[in-house]
Structure 1
Amino acid sequence: MSMTFFNEPFYTLSDFDRLFDEAFSARTSVAPRAQVENVATRPMRPRMDLHEDKDRNTMTAQFELPGLTKENVNIDLRDNVLTVSGEYGMESERDERGYSVRERRFGKFARSLPVPQGMKPQDVKANMNHGVLTVMFPRSTPEQAPKKITIA
């Protein structure tokens, strides 16, 4: 089963506006407000896909982090919450028809998702390849497994 999973503790009204604009722009030819706004002023919010494999008892989260290296990304596990965060600094420069175009984008980002109770840092595996961070962890821990009780 494959699903996109959003888990952020707080959303702003502009986040909801953006989500609705993106959803409805796919059905109409009207450009959403997010495309009209200056992209450089919006905070980076990496896209995340969450996949569940019940047979292997694993969850796999993939984060799109174009232009970043593993040195710019942190993964923390605290209070049953896995947080992927980091800093980005992107610059591009090009010359077009006599005009110089220079664009810069700097900032921080963070995405969090809940993990099973009792998860240990050594249970989490991560790798980064071509701007995609893949994080794997168990879907459930031995502490959550049902315990059989014998009747006396």
Structure 2
Amino acid sequence: MTTSKPRSSMTISRTDSQTFEQCRNPAFVQAVNRAANLKILVAIKSGKLRVVEPPKQTSPLVARYTPRMDIIDDPSSSNLAAIFEVPGITTENIKLTIHEGQLHLYGERRAPYPTRVESFPNNSSLPFNVLTLGDKLDTGSPSQVKVHVQEICFGTFQRSIPLPKGIKMQDIHANLSDGLLTVTWPRSPAQTCMENHRAAAGKSVKSFNSSPPMHTMAAGTASQ
């Protein structure tokens, strides 16, 4: 009966070192990733795995900061108002929506200097594929611009305000001037309906009073 000799610690250490160096080899890592991707593809085709789409965002933008605001309540007015501090922003970069009884303000303030080199320009959608995502996704490289002091907030922002029940987008009025966004809405939808009825009635009365008498129109036509 033959017995195997125990391996010396030096041999084991040398083997572990070689294995470690082999695992760090880029060609070895690429081969392992390729084999793993192939197994994933086979599992997906056989139904053992399935690709799950990422959850859809409820908001169009991921906010990086929150703009300051004032809410104005004048008892003598039938409207409420909110003033947002948004300097350096144009109307093209602001969006107002109503969702679940709240007014949502979304926007973006872009820095006047480059902050990074974008790999996907024009906000193109990134490919979502479990097999090729790692190959196509590139986070970009930092630019050479150095910002020694950064106190101004740039990027996307968001702010939400609860609204009275029944308020719709046609009830919202907004104005952007001197870096301040003023948004107004009625205290209640009933006041909006009453104001619309009054305006419609006023137009009807004005139109009726401005119409000339029938005999005058006939005489004018005959004289021509």
TM-score class, shorter: 0.5 to 0.7
Paired position in structure 2 for 1:113:
161
Paired position in structure 2 for 1:29:
none
Within 1, Cα distance between the matches of 2:70 and 2:190?
A: 25
1:135 lines up with 2:135 in the alignment: no
**Structure 1 contact 60–137 (Cα < 8 Å) conserved:** yes
Larger radius of gyration: 2
Aligned length: 96
**Structure 2 contact 107–156 (Cα < 8 Å) conserved:** yes
Paired position in structure 1 for 2:91:
70
How far the C-alpha of 1:141 sits from its partner, in A, is 2.3
Q: What is the one-letter code of the residue matched to 1:118?
A: G
**Structure 2 contact 95–105 (Cα < 8 Å) conserved:** yes
Q: How does 1:2-151 map to 2 (within 5 A)?
A: 43-91=64-112, 102=147, 106-142=154-190
| Structure 2: gaps spanning 5 or more residues | 1-63, 115-144, 192-224
**Structure 2 contact 111–155 (Cα < 8 Å) conserved:** no
Q: What is the one-letter code of the residue matched to 1:55?
A: S
TM-score for both structures, normalised by structure 1: 0.55
Q: Percent identity?
A: 38
Deviation string, structure 1 residues 94-131 (Cα, Å, up to 9, x no partner): xxxxxx96569642111001000000211110010011
Within 1, Cα distance between the matches of 2:68 and 2:154?
A: 18
Within 1, Cα distance between the matches of 2:111 and 2:105?
A: 19
The structure with more helix, counted as a fraction of residues: 2
**Structure 1 contact 126–135 (Cα < 8 Å) conserved:** yes
Deviation string, structure 1 residues 65-116 (Cα, Å, up to 9, x no partner): 01111111100012210011111212259xxxxxx96569642111001000
How far the C-alpha of 1:44 sits from its partner, in A, is 2.4
TM-score for both structures, normalised by structure 2: 0.39
Paired position in structure 1 for 2:23:
none
Within 1, Cα distance between the matches of 2:162 and 2:186?
A: 12
